[in-house]
Structure 1
């Protein structure tokens, strides 16, 4: 039986009410009956309110990990409006729910709106990562890989870039060739996607590529290279990141500091400790947080295991 609180919320939404964020929490963890109730009445909710609900649900779930709007996202993925489907994809960014995954694959395969299709391709990254690390059924992920491989050959450059990113964790030779081809393409969008894929790959073969882009002319490329370095986690990137501590772009500098913290190890800790003494005003907290993270990684690598 549908809860009275949920009924009141949906009735109010249909009437044009704009709910408070705390009221939207009622839409978390919807059971089968409640999800069916919301689905049946979803199209009666005005479009601006549907968009608002998904925006707020995304923010709420980001602030409170106990909230789970996966069922709401699945309902919204079937919405006839592209703006709602796009928000649903974004709201499901951290999800590896198999039912949502099936819907996302369908969007990658046949979604008519370019932005929604690209976002769906990018959102499959979490599923691919989970499958590579044994946390998601590889037979289910196989259809995702097929859809992404097809998307990586699309004439739509943004879709190709999203597909390359999401395929990054896969260790198959054809994926490495795809990443390298994107990197050498001369297209800024594809080069950025290649860098992100390198970071997701957990493979040392990309260290030199990432290090090269830490000194690129483009600040956007340097920023993405720093993020990729932190994601890859290779201590071989520490010297190049040390050089990048001289970067004059504040956003890049923050990313470099964070990457050193994510990589950890003796060399990263020493670099951060030395930099702490000369860091520009306002960076002390970032360096301290990176040091705390790097020292924790140092303990896990070299300390006594339980």
Structure 2
């Protein structure tokens, strides 16, 4: 039965919820598998769909979840973020405010969503929010453990040992996941996960059009966070002559005060998006096997569909 997500506090279940960053995975599948290697008999590419389904099957086999949700970008470049930092994702705009997506990939996304619906895996976005925000809200509101699956570094900020939230970072692919807890985040970046967004705002991120503070790189940003805390604490310390800033660094941070005030909420993943009704329970068999069979035959997806069905059937009852 579908239900509205609510806050379950620290309730923990034995099996995880897999919260999947669907755009991250289907872009990776599209670019990782040549179009000619995965086509229909009519020559239509299905490389993104096949690769995505195979990744989900592998995750189900290896992580053995009892819940799975795929997050989508209902608004890939939310206007509230653009209003704060106009350069946000600007370089990735194709026209108007539409994301630049290869046509061969764009045609596959509806097919993928049909397959997920036939299997019984919920996939949704929320107007005004990115997939990251859906993932953040799932991590904040669903019973743990929650394993967020993404190749987006921004989601390291969600890692929380107390809540049982981990990031399965697939920067090198699903076969080489980094299973990130708080210790891994701190070892990797030199900052606690709870301040990763503050660190990212200062360091900047060219892939998202975030310039960062000029003259403040990754090492300096990590050192500042480790010493003072998040952006508000760092900016407050600027007003204290005894805070120990080097004169040049103080000038750089003071000049970037307005940018940092605006960039921090852009970098922070929302935890309160209004999610639709959904049932995250992972089925042990396809919800609509007839529809799945039709889709598998039409789009030459029999092998990938079978691997996913086999993975589901191998889960404990």
When the two structures are superposed, what TM-score results if normalisation uses the length of structure 2?
0.28
Q: Which has the higher contact order (CA 8 A, sep 6+)?
A: 2
Normalized per residue, the structure richer in strand is 2
Normalized per residue, the structure richer in helix is 1
